[in-house]
Amino acid sequence: MSNRTFTMIKPDATSKGYTGAILDQIIQSGFKVKAMKWIHLTPSQAGQFYEVHKERPFYGELVEFMSSGPIVAAILEKDNAVADFRTLIGATNFKDAAEGTIRKKYASSIGENAVHGSDSDENAAIESNFFFSNFERF
């Protein structure tokens, strides 16, 4: 169990003006922001981030979507961060997400699902290192 996870607020949510509400829900749920960046990924960067999904049929669509507008990337801290954050955001498909979760409230499809949350401590570290140097986290 680690006390840090990584998140992105995705282009669908930033373009609809949900950034503030999502950050507020994250902070009100007990997560502390340890690093944060507002950034527009290139297709190459988005492809690299999601390389693990390269063989999936939705990979091209995912890369196009994730490079379609700005995102907020952040490192979050809380006890049991990875599991608790995944509970907070809800299932990948918002239709299966529990009431009150971030995806249930703000996602519009399985691909455009408002937020990303790391699925393991190992991936939280890899994903955090993709976006942030040691000088950018506190």
Nearer to ligand CMP, 59 or 78 (CB): 59
Quick check: 69 binds ligand CMP (CB under 6 A)? no
Asked if 62 is part of the footprint of ligand CMP (rule: CB under 6 A), the reply reads yes
Asked if residue 36 binds ligand CMP (CB under 6 A), the reply is: no
Name which of 130, 137, 8, 133 is nearest 69 in CA terms: 8
Question: Would residue 40 show up in a list of annotated catalytic residues for this protein?
Answer: no
CB of 135 to ligand CMP, least distance (A): 26
* Binding piece for ligand CMP, criterion CB under 6 A, among 11-19, 70-78, 110-118, 128-136: 110-118
What number of residues does the chain have?
A: 138
Q: Contacts with ligand CMP: how many residues (CB under 6 A)?
A: 9
- In sequence order, the β-bridge partners of residue 99 are none
DSSP letter for each residue of 72-105: EEEEEE-TTHHHHHHHHH--SSGGGSPTTSHHHH
Distance CA 135, CA 17 (A): 29
Q: Does 38 bind ligand CMP (CB under 6 A)?
A: no
| Annotated catalytic residue, options 116, 117, 118, 128 | 116
Among 24, 61, 96, 136, binds ligand CMP (CB under 6 A): 61
Q: Is the dihedral of CA 77, 79, 82, 88 positive or negative?
A: negative
| Residue 113 interacts with ligand CMP (CB under 6 A): yes or no | yes
Sheet holding 32-39, edge to edge: 32-39, 71-77, 4-9, 115-117
**Site for ligand CMP, rule CB under 6 A:** 53, 58, 61-62, 92, 110-111, 113, 116
The set of catalytic residues is: 116
